[in-house]
Protein backbone atom coordinates (compact mmCIF):
# COMPACT_ATOMS: atom_id res chain seq x y z
CA UNK A 1 0.00 0.00 0.00
CA UNK A 2 1.46 3.37 -0.96
CA UNK A 3 2.20 6.00 1.65
CA UNK A 4 -0.31 8.43 0.05
CA UNK A 5 -3.09 5.81 0.05
CA UNK A 6 -2.31 4.94 3.66
CA UNK A 7 -2.52 8.59 4.69
CA UNK A 8 -5.83 9.01 2.87
CA UNK A 9 -7.30 5.97 4.64
CA UNK A 10 -6.16 7.27 8.01
CA UNK A 11 -7.68 10.69 7.29
CA UNK A 12 -10.95 9.05 6.27
CA UNK A 13 -10.99 6.92 9.42
CA UNK A 14 -10.28 9.94 11.63
CA UNK A 15 -13.05 11.95 9.93
CA UNK A 16 -15.53 9.10 10.39
CA UNK A 17 -14.54 8.74 14.04
CA UNK A 18 -15.00 12.46 14.57
CA UNK A 19 -18.54 12.30 13.17
CA UNK A 20 -19.41 9.37 15.45
CA UNK A 21 -17.97 11.11 18.52
CA UNK A 22 -19.78 14.31 17.60
CA UNK A 23 -23.13 12.49 17.27
CA UNK A 24 -22.59 10.67 20.58
CA UNK A 25 -21.74 13.92 22.37
CA UNK A 26 -24.63 16.02 21.05
CA UNK A 27 -27.27 14.80 23.55
CA UNK A 28 -24.85 15.39 26.43
CA UNK A 29 -23.96 18.81 24.97
CA UNK A 30 -27.64 19.73 24.76
CA UNK A 31 -28.25 18.47 28.29
CA UNK A 32 -25.55 20.76 29.63
CA UNK A 33 -26.57 23.69 27.43
CA UNK A 34 -25.87 26.48 28.15
CA UNK A 35 -22.72 26.42 30.25
CA UNK A 36 -21.66 30.00 29.49
CA UNK A 37 -23.36 33.38 28.73
CA UNK A 38 -25.74 33.55 25.74
CA UNK A 39 -26.15 36.53 23.37
CA UNK A 40 -29.63 37.72 22.43
CA UNK A 41 -29.50 39.99 19.37
CA UNK A 42 -32.04 42.83 19.16
CA UNK A 43 -32.55 44.28 15.69
CA UNK A 44 -34.20 47.59 16.72
CA UNK A 45 -33.11 50.56 18.89
CA UNK A 46 -33.40 50.54 22.67
CA UNK A 47 -36.76 51.49 24.16
CA UNK A 48 -39.00 50.11 21.41
CA UNK A 49 -41.37 47.14 21.66
CA UNK A 50 -38.82 44.66 20.25
CA UNK A 51 -36.11 45.76 22.67
CA UNK A 52 -38.38 45.73 25.72
CA UNK A 53 -39.75 42.27 24.90
CA UNK A 54 -36.25 40.90 24.31
CA UNK A 55 -35.06 42.17 27.68
CA UNK A 56 -38.01 40.58 29.50
CA UNK A 57 -37.45 37.31 27.62
CA UNK A 58 -33.71 37.44 28.27
CA UNK A 59 -34.27 37.87 31.99
CA UNK A 60 -36.59 34.87 32.16
CA UNK A 61 -34.26 32.69 30.06
CA UNK A 62 -31.36 33.65 32.31
CA UNK A 63 -33.32 32.55 35.37
CA UNK A 64 -34.35 29.33 33.63
CA UNK A 65 -30.87 28.45 32.36
CA UNK A 66 -28.84 29.77 35.26
CA UNK A 67 -26.61 31.63 32.81
CA UNK A 68 -26.48 35.34 31.84
CA UNK A 69 -28.35 36.33 28.67
CA UNK A 70 -26.58 39.37 27.28
CA UNK A 71 -28.51 41.78 25.06
CA UNK A 72 -26.56 42.63 21.90
CA UNK A 73 -28.15 45.65 20.21
CA UNK A 74 -27.65 45.69 16.42
CA UNK A 75 -30.20 48.19 15.06
CA UNK A 76 -30.33 49.63 11.56
CA UNK A 77 -31.59 48.97 8.03
CA UNK A 78 -35.10 48.18 9.32
CA UNK A 79 -33.77 45.25 11.33
CA UNK A 80 -31.59 43.74 8.61
CA UNK A 81 -28.26 44.54 10.30
CA UNK A 82 -29.11 42.46 13.35
CA UNK A 83 -30.31 39.56 11.23
CA UNK A 84 -27.10 39.55 9.15
CA UNK A 85 -24.98 39.72 12.31
CA UNK A 86 -26.75 36.69 13.76
CA UNK A 87 -26.48 34.70 10.53
CA UNK A 88 -22.68 35.09 10.64
CA UNK A 89 -22.30 33.85 14.24
CA UNK A 90 -21.10 30.33 15.16
CA UNK A 91 -23.94 27.80 15.02
CA UNK A 92 -23.38 26.62 18.58
CA UNK A 93 -26.55 27.94 20.21
CA UNK A 94 -24.82 30.77 22.04
CA UNK A 95 -26.25 33.52 19.81
CA UNK A 96 -29.90 33.91 18.87
CA UNK A 97 -32.08 36.70 17.53
CA UNK A 98 -35.63 37.86 18.02
CA UNK A 99 -36.75 38.53 14.45
CA UNK A 100 -40.08 39.99 13.44
CA UNK A 101 -42.29 40.69 10.45
CA UNK A 102 -40.01 43.37 8.99
CA UNK A 103 -36.54 41.81 8.70
CA UNK A 104 -37.73 38.20 8.62
CA UNK A 105 -40.55 38.46 6.07
CA UNK A 106 -40.94 41.88 4.43
CA UNK A 107 -37.39 43.20 3.97
CA UNK A 108 -36.31 40.29 1.72
CA UNK A 109 -39.33 41.03 -0.49
CA UNK A 110 -38.70 44.76 -0.98
CA UNK A 111 -34.90 45.00 -1.03
CA UNK A 112 -31.71 42.98 -1.42
CA UNK A 113 -30.71 41.85 2.06
CA UNK A 114 -27.35 40.24 2.99
CA UNK A 115 -28.96 37.07 4.35
CA UNK A 116 -31.33 34.33 3.24
CA UNK A 117 -34.07 33.41 5.71
CA UNK A 118 -34.35 29.85 4.36
CA UNK A 119 -30.61 29.10 4.23
CA UNK A 120 -29.14 31.19 7.06
CA UNK A 121 -31.61 30.61 9.92
CA UNK A 122 -33.50 27.97 11.85
CA UNK A 123 -36.94 29.14 13.04
CA UNK A 124 -37.35 28.02 16.67
CA UNK A 125 -40.68 29.42 17.90
CA UNK A 126 -43.17 32.22 17.38
CA UNK A 127 -43.05 34.06 20.72
CA UNK A 128 -45.46 37.01 20.46
CA UNK A 129 -48.15 38.57 18.31
CA UNK A 130 -49.68 42.00 18.52
CA UNK A 131 -52.58 43.63 16.69
CA UNK A 132 -52.59 46.96 14.88
CA UNK A 133 -55.16 49.65 15.53
CA UNK A 134 -56.67 51.99 12.94
CA UNK A 135 -56.83 55.31 14.77
CA UNK A 136 -58.06 58.79 13.82
CA UNK A 137 -57.92 62.10 15.75
CA UNK A 138 -60.91 62.70 18.00
CA UNK A 139 -61.77 65.75 15.85
CA UNK A 140 -62.14 63.47 12.82
CA UNK A 141 -65.63 63.30 11.31
CA UNK A 142 -65.33 59.49 11.06
CA UNK A 143 -66.99 57.67 13.95
CA UNK A 144 -66.58 54.22 12.44
CA UNK A 145 -64.80 52.37 9.64
CA UNK A 146 -67.81 52.41 7.31
CA UNK A 147 -67.96 56.23 7.37
CA UNK A 148 -64.26 56.43 6.51
CA UNK A 149 -64.58 53.96 3.63
CA UNK A 150 -67.64 55.77 2.23
CA UNK A 151 -65.79 59.10 2.24
CA UNK A 152 -62.76 57.53 0.52
CA UNK A 153 -64.97 55.99 -2.17
CA UNK A 154 -66.76 59.26 -2.82
CA UNK A 155 -63.48 61.18 -3.17
CA UNK A 156 -60.56 58.92 -4.18
CA UNK A 157 -57.13 60.03 -2.84
CA UNK A 158 -58.75 62.71 -0.65
CA UNK A 159 -57.68 60.92 2.56
CA UNK A 160 -54.18 60.04 3.73
CA UNK A 161 -52.61 57.66 6.23
CA UNK A 162 -49.30 57.83 8.06
CA UNK A 163 -46.64 55.16 7.71
CA UNK A 164 -43.18 54.55 9.11
CA UNK A 165 -41.75 53.97 5.64
CA UNK A 166 -42.15 51.56 2.71
CA UNK A 167 -42.84 48.00 3.78
CA UNK A 168 -43.69 48.96 7.37
CA UNK A 169 -46.77 47.38 8.94
CA UNK A 170 -48.47 50.78 8.84
CA UNK A 171 -47.80 50.96 5.10
CA UNK A 172 -48.75 47.36 4.28
CA UNK A 173 -51.83 47.63 6.49
CA UNK A 174 -52.94 50.73 4.62
CA UNK A 175 -52.48 48.88 1.33
CA UNK A 176 -54.52 45.95 2.66
CA UNK A 177 -57.36 48.29 3.66
CA UNK A 178 -57.37 49.91 0.22
CA UNK A 179 -57.38 46.53 -1.52
CA UNK A 180 -60.11 45.03 0.66
CA UNK A 181 -62.34 48.13 0.56
CA UNK A 182 -61.57 48.99 -3.08
CA UNK A 183 -60.62 52.58 -2.22
CA UNK A 184 -57.67 54.88 -2.91
CA UNK A 185 -55.81 56.82 -0.25
CA UNK A 186 -52.38 58.45 -0.04
CA UNK A 187 -49.64 57.06 2.17
CA UNK A 188 -47.50 59.64 4.00
CA UNK A 189 -44.11 58.14 4.98
CA UNK A 190 -42.31 59.18 8.16
CA UNK A 191 -38.86 58.27 9.48
CA UNK A 192 -40.46 56.58 12.47
CA UNK A 193 -43.82 55.59 13.87
CA UNK A 194 -43.53 58.06 16.75
CA UNK A 195 -43.32 61.01 14.35
CA UNK A 196 -46.41 59.79 12.52
CA UNK A 197 -48.35 59.44 15.77
CA UNK A 198 -47.39 63.02 16.72
CA UNK A 199 -48.82 64.32 13.45
CA UNK A 200 -51.90 62.17 13.91
CA UNK A 201 -52.48 63.76 17.31
CA UNK A 202 -52.04 67.19 15.73
CA UNK A 203 -54.54 66.37 12.97
CA UNK A 204 -51.90 66.67 10.23
CA UNK A 205 -52.82 63.24 8.83
CA UNK A 206 -56.24 61.59 8.63
CA UNK A 207 -55.46 58.19 10.10
CA UNK A 208 -52.80 55.65 10.95
CA UNK A 209 -52.62 51.90 11.41
CA UNK A 210 -50.34 51.55 14.42
CA UNK A 211 -49.21 48.86 16.81
CA UNK A 212 -50.91 49.19 20.18
CA UNK A 213 -48.12 50.65 22.33
CA UNK A 214 -47.78 54.12 20.70
CA UNK A 215 -51.53 54.84 20.43
CA UNK A 216 -53.29 52.98 23.26
CA UNK A 217 -52.59 55.66 25.87
CA UNK A 218 -53.97 58.36 23.57
CA UNK A 219 -57.07 56.27 22.85
CA UNK A 220 -57.67 55.87 26.59
CA UNK A 221 -57.15 59.60 27.20
CA UNK A 222 -59.58 60.50 24.40
CA UNK A 223 -57.07 62.19 22.09
CA UNK A 224 -57.45 59.48 19.45
CA UNK A 225 -60.42 57.36 18.32
CA UNK A 226 -59.98 53.68 17.46
CA UNK A 227 -62.05 52.48 14.50
CA UNK A 228 -60.90 48.85 14.17
CA UNK A 229 -58.25 46.34 15.22
CA UNK A 230 -56.45 43.91 12.89
CA UNK A 231 -56.60 40.78 15.07
CA UNK A 232 -58.90 37.88 14.17
CA UNK A 233 -60.75 38.35 17.48
CA UNK A 234 -61.22 41.31 19.77
CA UNK A 235 -58.21 41.91 21.96
CA UNK A 236 -58.75 41.20 25.68
CA UNK A 237 -56.48 44.19 26.29
CA UNK A 238 -58.77 46.49 24.24
CA UNK A 239 -62.16 44.71 24.15
CA UNK A 240 -64.13 47.79 23.06
CA UNK A 241 -62.39 48.04 19.68
CA UNK A 242 -64.15 46.03 16.92
CA UNK A 243 -62.19 43.80 14.58
CA UNK A 244 -62.03 44.80 10.91
CA UNK A 245 -64.40 41.91 10.17
CA UNK A 246 -66.94 43.29 12.63
CA UNK A 247 -66.42 46.81 11.28
CA UNK A 248 -67.14 45.77 7.69
CA UNK A 249 -63.94 44.34 6.15
CA UNK A 250 -64.03 40.55 6.66
CA UNK A 251 -60.76 38.75 6.12
CA UNK A 252 -58.49 41.65 7.03
CA UNK A 253 -56.13 40.23 9.63
CA UNK A 254 -52.61 41.65 9.92
CA UNK A 255 -50.66 41.23 13.14
CA UNK A 256 -47.18 42.20 14.19
CA UNK A 257 -45.19 39.19 15.32
CA UNK A 258 -41.88 38.22 16.90
CA UNK A 259 -40.04 34.91 16.93
CA UNK A 260 -36.73 33.31 17.88
CA UNK A 261 -34.24 32.28 15.18
CA UNK A 262 -30.89 30.49 15.47
CA UNK A 263 -28.04 30.44 12.91
CA UNK A 264 -28.34 27.62 10.36
CA UNK A 265 -26.35 24.56 11.36
CA UNK A 266 -27.21 24.73 15.05
CA UNK A 267 -27.47 21.09 16.26
CA UNK A 268 -31.05 19.84 16.53
CA UNK A 269 -30.77 18.86 20.23
CA UNK A 270 -29.82 22.47 20.99
CA UNK A 271 -32.70 23.80 18.87
CA UNK A 272 -35.05 21.46 20.73
CA UNK A 273 -33.63 22.67 24.05
CA UNK A 274 -34.35 26.27 23.00
CA UNK A 275 -37.92 25.44 22.07
CA UNK A 276 -38.51 23.65 25.37
CA UNK A 277 -37.08 26.63 27.30
CA UNK A 278 -39.27 29.08 25.37
CA UNK A 279 -42.43 27.01 25.95
CA UNK A 280 -41.62 27.16 29.66
CA UNK A 281 -40.76 30.84 30.06
CA UNK A 282 -43.37 32.28 27.69
CA UNK A 283 -46.09 30.73 29.89
CA UNK A 284 -44.71 32.53 32.95
CA UNK A 285 -47.54 34.72 34.40
CA UNK A 286 -45.20 37.65 35.10
CA UNK A 287 -43.82 37.58 31.55
CA UNK A 288 -47.33 37.35 30.06
CA UNK A 289 -48.49 40.32 32.12
CA UNK A 290 -45.47 42.43 31.15
CA UNK A 291 -45.93 41.56 27.47
CA UNK A 292 -49.62 42.49 27.73
CA UNK A 293 -48.52 45.87 29.05
CA UNK A 294 -46.69 46.34 25.73
CA UNK A 295 -49.85 45.47 23.79
CA UNK A 296 -48.75 41.98 22.71
CA UNK A 297 -49.63 38.40 23.56
CA UNK A 298 -46.86 36.06 24.74
CA UNK A 299 -46.85 32.53 23.30
CA UNK A 300 -44.51 29.76 22.17
CA UNK A 301 -45.28 27.55 19.19
CA UNK A 302 -43.62 24.38 17.98
CA UNK A 303 -41.01 24.64 15.22
CA UNK A 304 -43.41 23.23 12.65
CA UNK A 305 -46.14 25.69 13.62
CA UNK A 306 -43.69 28.57 13.31
CA UNK A 307 -42.53 27.38 9.88
CA UNK A 308 -46.14 27.14 8.65
CA UNK A 309 -46.87 30.61 10.02
CA UNK A 310 -43.81 32.07 8.25
CA UNK A 311 -44.90 30.50 4.96
CA UNK A 312 -48.39 32.00 5.24
CA UNK A 313 -47.03 35.46 6.08
CA UNK A 314 -44.63 35.34 3.13
CA UNK A 315 -47.44 34.35 0.77
CA UNK A 316 -49.72 37.12 2.04
CA UNK A 317 -47.23 39.95 1.75
CA UNK A 318 -45.35 38.83 -1.37
CA UNK A 319 -48.52 39.19 -3.43
CA UNK A 320 -49.43 42.54 -1.83
CA UNK A 321 -45.91 43.90 -2.38
CA UNK A 322 -45.74 42.65 -5.98
CA UNK A 323 -49.22 43.96 -6.87
CA UNK A 324 -48.39 47.42 -5.53
CA UNK A 325 -44.73 47.49 -6.68
CA UNK A 326 -43.54 48.35 -3.16
CA UNK A 327 -39.80 49.00 -2.96
CA UNK A 328 -37.48 50.08 -0.15
CA UNK A 329 -36.34 53.70 -0.32
pLDDT digits (tens, 9 = 90+) for 151-191: 999 999 999 999 988 888 899 999 999 999 999 999 999 88
Query: Average pLDDT of the chain?
Result: 90
Q: How confident is the model at residue 11 (pLDDT cuts 50, 70, 90)?
A: very low
pLDDT at 30: 58
Spatial separation of the C-alpha atoms in residues 172 and 323, rounded to whole Å: 12
Mean pLDDT of 181-204: 93
Q: What residues have CB less than 8 Å from 186, skipping those under 6 apart?
A: 157, 159, 160, 161
pLDDT at 27: 53
Kindly report, residue by residue over 121-155, the tens digit of the pLDDT. Answer: 999 999 999 999 999 999 999 999 999 999 999 99
pLDDT at 328: 80
Q: What are the beta bridge partners of residue 39?
A: 70, 95
CA nearest to 66, candidates 32, 117, 116, 15: 32
pLDDT at 142: 97
Mean pLDDT of 289-300: 93
pLDDT at 203: 96
Which uninterrupted H or E stretch holds 134?
strand 132-137
pLDDT over 70, % of the chain: 90
pLDDT at 20: 46
Provide the residue ranges of all domains of the chain, joining segments of one domain with +.
Answer: 35-130+255-323, 132-247
CA trace torsion 116, 61, 90, 98 (10° rounding): 20
pLDDT at 31: 67
108: pLDDT strictly greater than 90: yes
279: pLDDT strictly greater than 60: yes
pLDDT over 90, % of the chain: 77
Name the CATH superfamily, with its identifier, for domain 132-247. Answer: Periplasmic binding protein-like II (3.40.190.10)
pLDDT at 13: 45
Phi, psi dihedrals of residue 70, rounded to the nearest 5°: -95, 125
Spatial separation of the C-alpha atoms in residues 170 and 190, rounded to whole Å: 10
Mean pLDDT of 105-132: 95
Mean pLDDT of 313-320: 91
Given a contact cutoff of 8 angstroms between Cβ atoms, the answer to whether 216 and 296 are in contact is no
Given a contact cutoff of 8 angstroms between Cβ atoms, the answer to whether 294 and 213 are in contact is yes
Q: Which DSSP symbol is given to 238?
A: B
Lowest mean pLDDT among 16-20, 26-30, 219-223, 306-310: 16-20
The rounded radius of gyration (Å) of the Cα atoms in the chain is: 23
Please confirm whether the linkage preceding 34 is cis (ω < 30° from 0).
Answer: yes
Kindly report, residue by residue over 35-86, the tens digit of the pLDDT. Answer: 999 999 999 888 888 999 999 999 999 999 999 999 999 998 889 999 999 9
Q: Which DSSP symbol is given to 235?
A: B
State the pairing for strand pair 297-298/121-130.
Answer: antiparallel
pLDDT at 278: 98
Q: Assess whether the region 35-130+255-323 and the region 132-247 belong to the same CATH fold.
A: yes
Kindly report, residue by residue over 261-276, the tens digit of the pLDDT. Answer: 999 999 999 999 999 9
90 to 21, 85, 116, 139, 268: CA distances (angstroms): 20, 11, 16, 54, 15
Q: How confident is the model at residue 7 (pLDDT cuts 50, 70, 90)?
A: very low
Given a contact cutoff of 8 angstroms between Cβ atoms, the answer to whether 100 and 256 are in contact is yes
194 to 164, 189, 201: CA distances (angstroms): 8, 12, 11
Kindly report, residue by residue over 244-264, the tens digit of the pLDDT. Answer: 999 999 889 999 999 999 999
pLDDT at 4: 40
pLDDT at 236: 85
pLDDT at 126: 98
2: pLDDT strictly greater than 50: no
Spatial separation of the C-alpha atoms in residues 33 and 31, rounded to whole Å: 6
As assigned by CATH, the class of the 35-130+255-323 domain is alpha beta
Amino acid sequence: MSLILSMRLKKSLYAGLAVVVSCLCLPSFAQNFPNKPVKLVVTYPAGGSSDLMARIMGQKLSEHWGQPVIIESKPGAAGSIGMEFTARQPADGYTFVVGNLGPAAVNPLISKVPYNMDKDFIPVALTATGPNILAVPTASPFKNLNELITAARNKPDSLNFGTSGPGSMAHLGGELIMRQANIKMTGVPYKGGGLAVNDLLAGQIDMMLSDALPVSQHIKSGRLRALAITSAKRSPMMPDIPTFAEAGLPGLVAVNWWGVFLPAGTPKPVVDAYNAALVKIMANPDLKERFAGLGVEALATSQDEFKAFLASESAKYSKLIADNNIKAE
